[in-house]
Chains A and B, each alone.
Chain A
Amino acid sequence: MKKLLSAKNVIISILILIGIWQLAFVISDYSEALFPSPLMALQALIEMIKDGTLLDSIAASMYRFAIGYGLSVIVAVILGLILGSLPRVFKYVDPALQLLRPISPTAWMPFVVLLFGIGDLPAIVIIFIAAFFPVLLSTVSAVSKINDIYFRVSDNFGIKQPALMWKVILPAAFPQIANAIHLALGSAWIFLVAGEMVGAQSGLGYQIIDARNNIRADILLATILVIGLIGLLLDFLIGLLEKRILRSWGGEN
């Protein structure tokens, strides 16, 4: 029943969104070529599915996303665990991180293109940067917040590094790390599109630029919808995973 109700919420919410779009289409006097209706976007979507361009774009984007986001999470978590366990070292690293963190990943874009050229790499680098700082800082903070009793118990039983890291520190910090990994997924997905708009010749972000160049606003809007849908789906999947992890972790409560 609860599931049915939430499905109802989703459908109504999206219908309202499409309704507003249709209304804006009817009352605005932009030409159809510049501001298409939902139906025209749907037709463009079907056209893209049929000729295979959509699938190619999705595949190119997902490949970059998987590599950039995956690498970023792995490196950030490992580095975060190390820095979190060495608070004295972290004091020297933290100011530099705080300086780099507020810089939008897109600001690095021209520099990245200069260094790596056009292709897969710039988008991967941007995604990497987008996910890196939040995951790293959350991991450090998660490690520093670990209840002291776990360290006392480990100390008492003679559990030393490296066993201490993977038997105690990682699992104790993991719920908070999982949350950061989840949140970073959203921003990584956002910056994927930005990265592809500037530094790539394929993918969903490139498809938007390509549609603009050909003045195909219907393709443009259809692509935007696809980006939203995939983002939603990814978020939903990692949310499920996170819930599952938190359940098996339990906590003392």
Chain B
Amino acid sequence: MSYIHIENAGKTFIENDTEFTALSDVNLDIEKGEFICLLGPSGCGKSTLLNAIAGFDLVNHGSVQIDGKEVTSPSTKNVTIFQNYGLLPWRNVIKNVELGLEAKGVDKDKRHEIAKKYLKLVKLEDFENSFPRQLSGGMKQRVAIARALAVEPDIIFMDEPFGALDAITRMKLQDDILDICKNEKKTIIFVTHDIEEAVYLADRIVVMTPNPGKVKGVLTVPLHHFRDRTSGDFLLVRDKIFDLLNMKLEDNIEYNI
């Protein structure tokens, strides 16, 4: 069986006495070391699916298994990176990176050493004594990435991590994250609504559509790292996604009477 195994997973909410289906009948298998993007418009259930795999909000139909075990709660082995960073504003950068290590019971000197190593990896070694409020959005997200990597997780969940950043910073961080996961060999599940971002990053793209949230199709991206955003192959994959999302224009037929 594959590393992450999702079978007939669904989630329904009851709101004002009416049942609302956020996610319906998802079947998905993810292998170790894959970079998966969950792509779709808002309301397609991509974050719901991510939260279910991460253990924050469990599904109420079907099953979600990691490494053969049903997911029932968040695990310290899998770390989530949020869009709004989730840094603790009263701790400086290095103390934020050390947070997960403290809970693991790593002693002080070792913690410091590990945190320094990962801050260097995200190129923030000169900011270890700064506070989150003094950093730009991109830098904050890099601190969050360093904090996640510091506990050496098996899986990293990313919930629209670059959604609040400007386009140029976002591209830079995309390159950084590709670099990092090539070196660290993590399984990454990445939620985004940005088609280009998905094509640029993913090994496989799970395209989702809303009402109810479901998987429309899974696309393998036949490109290798480093990808050229303007190459023909890149555009071809984009084109396929447009197709899946029904965003291509129909041929217009003109009637002349």
Contacts and interface: CB of A to CB of B under 8 A. Distances in A.
Contacts of B151: 157
| Contact size range, B | 20 to 34
B88 A156 contact: no
A185 to B, nearest CB: 23
Contact of A251 (B74, B84, B133): B133
A245 B87 CA distance: 18
A157 B84 CA distance: 17
Interface string B75-117: 0101110101011111000000001101110000000000000
B133 A171 contact: no
A157 B133 contact: no
Contacts of B99: 153, 157, 159, 167
Interface string A116-157: 000000000000000000000000000000000110110111
Nearest to A175: B90
A91 B101 CA distance: 36
A152 B133 contact: no
Contact of A250 (B73, B78, B103, B131): B131
B234 interface: no
B79 A253 contact: no
A51 interface: no
B31 to A, nearest CB: 23
A95 interface: no
A150 B90 contact: no
A252 B89 contact: yes
A253 B134 CA distance: 9
B76 A252 contact: no
Interface in B56-84: 56, 73-74, 76, 78-80, 82, 84
A163 B84 CA distance: 23
A171 B88 contact: yes
Given A157-B76, A250-B132, A253-B133, A152 B82 contact: yes
A168 interface: yes
Given A149-B84, A152-B82, A157 B100 contact: yes
Contacts of B79: 156-157
Contacts of B82: 149, 152-153
B56 A168 contact: no
A248 interface: yes
Contacts of B133: 250-253
A171 B89 CA distance: 9
12 contacts: A149-B82, A150-B86, A150-B88, A152-B56, A153-B99, A155-B56, A156-B74, A157-B151, A167-B99, A251-B89, A252-B89, A252-B132
Interface of B: 54, 56, 73-74, 76, 78-80, 82, 84, 86-90, 99-100, 102-104, 131-133, 151
Ranked nearest first, the 5 interchain pairs of A and B with the lowest CB-CB distance are A250-B133, A157-B100, A158-B76, A153-B86, A171-B90
